[in-house]
Structure 1
Amino acid sequence: MVTGLNFPTREFSDGTNKVVHGEALSYLKSIPDNSVDLIFADPPYNIGKDFDGLTENWDEEHFLNWCYQWIDECYRILAPNGTFYLMNSTENMPFLDIWCRKSFFVRSRIVWSYDSSGVQAKKYFGSMYEPILMLTKNEKNYTFNADDILVEAKTGSKRKLIDYRKNPPQPYNTKKVPGNVWDFARVRFKMDEYENHPTQKPESLLERIILASSNVGDTVLDPFSGSFTTGSVAIKNNRKFIGIEVNEEYLKIGLRRLNIPSDYTEEELAKNKKRKTKNLSKRVREVSEATIKQASLI
C-alpha cells in the first residue's frame, strides 16, 4: 500500500503495450470501464517484506480498506466476459475472498504449492503455498481455453488403464485440465528468468493463467507488476499488456524485459542479478570451508 507519493505518473509505451510508473489505485481510476480482458493482481501481502526500500508494514484495517478499493476498480474495468486472478497471503485471503464475493463469481480457489529449502517454522506448520482466487463478472460467460492448458493425466498416460464405464470400454485420456493445486517451482537465482525482486512469480504459473483466460489480442493488466513476469508472458503469447509499478527499480526491470522505449540509458536498465538471500550456496560454502582448512594447515 503505497499512496500519496510525490512524483508524477509516467507512462512508457511501444504503441501496443504500456508500462506505468505510478500508484496502482490512482492509475486504475483512469482506466475506462469494461476495457480489460484479464487482470492478474499480486499486491503486497503486508507481512513485513522490504521491496528495495519500501517496507510493507501497515495497520491491518487500512491495508484491507486499500485492497477493497483497488479490487472494486478492477471489477469496474474488467470486461463482461473477463477474468480476475487475485493472489495474497494465507492470512489476508479470507478477508479478500469475502469481499470479492459481493461482486464477483468465484470460479476456483487455487493453491500454488511449492517446496522450500529455506528455514521453516519450528513451533507451527509453516506455509508452503500461496492462494489464488479465480474471479469472473459473469457466472457462465467467460474465457476459458481448456485445450491450451492440458496436462498429463497419469492414469491414462502412464498406467494405461481402461475405463470400463464407457461402452465400448476405452483407455483413459492421456491429457486433462489441471486441478486447483498447482505445483510450480519458485524462481531460483540460477534460472534465466530470475530478476532482482523478492517475490517474483514463475513464468510457468503466469503462462497457465494467460493461456486459459485470455485470447490472442486481448488486453492483460497487472496493477502490481513487480518483476513484470505477467507482461513478459503476455507479450510472448501475443496479448496486449498494461503494467503498473510504483517502485522505480522494478519499473526498469519491466522496461527491459518488455523492450519498451524510455529515457533510461542502457546501463540503467542492464540486468545485474543479486541474490535475494545473504546465505551462501552449498558449493560456495564447501569451497570456503576447504580454503579455510587448507590455510590452517600451512
Structure 2
Amino acid sequence: MTQFDFHLQDCITGMARLPGESVDLVVTSPPYNLGIKYGMYSDRQDRQSYLHWCRKWAAQLRRVLKLDGSFFLNIGAAPANPMLPHEIALALRDLFVLQNTIHWVKSIAIATRFSPLPKQKDGAPAESETTFGHFKPINS
C-alpha cells in the first residue's frame, strides 16, 4: 500500500524541517496576492515583496523535492494583473524547469449550485483566469 504524508503548516518553516530530496510531489496553491483575507498571512504585498516570498518558499521546495519529483503550482490572476503567473514562473526559472502550463479561463466555466460563477460588484460575470504550472528540477 502506498503511504502519503500531508503537511498543513507554514510552507517555509514546515519544509525547513524536512530532509533534502525527500518529497516526490508537491501540489500547491499559494495566496495570489489579490487582497484575500487569510488568517495570519497578508495577501496585499507590493509586487517585489510577493515575488521575493515566492522565491523563498520555492527555494525550500526545490531543496526537499527529489530530482525526479514534480511540482504543480496553481496561481490565479486578476483581470488587472494577468501576467502575475508568468512573472512567478520567470522568478523560479533558476530553480525549476517549466514542463507544462494549463489555463483555466473561468468566464467559460459552468456554474453549479455548489460553485457559482464569480460576479463583479455590478452583477456582471467576473473575467478571471487561473494558471497551473507543472515544474521539475530538471528538464524531462
| Higher-helix-fraction structure | 1
| Whole-angstrom CA distance in 1 between matches of 2:4 and 2:119 | 43
Equivalent positions of 1:144-293 (< 5 A) are: none
What TM-score do you get using the length of structure 2 for normalisation? 0.73
2:62 match: 75
Q: For 1:61, which of 37, 48, 57 is the aligned residue?
A: 48
Instruction: Specify which of 81, 84, 93 is matched with residue 85 of structure 2.
Output: 93
| 2:30 maps to 1:17 | no
Deviations 1:234-286 (A, max 9, x none): xxxxxxxxxxxxxxxxxxxxxxxxxxxxxxxxxxxxxxxxxxxxxxxxxxxxx
**Residue of structure 2 in register with 1:191 after alignment:** none
* Larger gyration radius, structure 1 or structure 2: 1
CA spacing shift, 1:31–1:100, aligned 2, 3 Å: same
Are positions 1:48 and 2:40 aligned together? Answer: no
2:113 paired residue number: none
**Candidates 4, 7, 26, aligned match of 1:39:** 26
In the TM superposition, what is the alpha-carbon distance from 1:138 to its structure 2 partner?
2.3
Contact map agreement 2:20 2:63 (CA 8 A) in 1: yes
Deviations 1:142-165 (A, max 9, x none): xxxxxxxxxxxxxxxxxxxxxxxx
TM-score (norm 1): 0.37
> What's the RMSD between the two structures over aligned residues?
2.6
In structure 2, which of residues 70, 87, 95 is the aligned counterpart of residue 103 of structure 1? Answer: 95
Give the deviation of 1:16 after TM superposition.
6.1
Aligned-partner SS, 1:139: coil
Shift of residue 53, structure 1, vs aligned partner: 7.0
CA-to-aligned-CA distance 1:23-55 (integer Å, 9 cap, x gap):
211111121111111111100111111235755
Gapped runs of 5+ residues in structure 1? 1-14, 141-298
DSSP 3-state at the match of 1:49 = coil
Structure 2: state its 5+ residue gaps. 110-115
Task: Note if 1:27 corresponds to 2:26.
Answer: no
Aligned length: 123
CA distance in 1, matches of 2:119, 2:126: 10
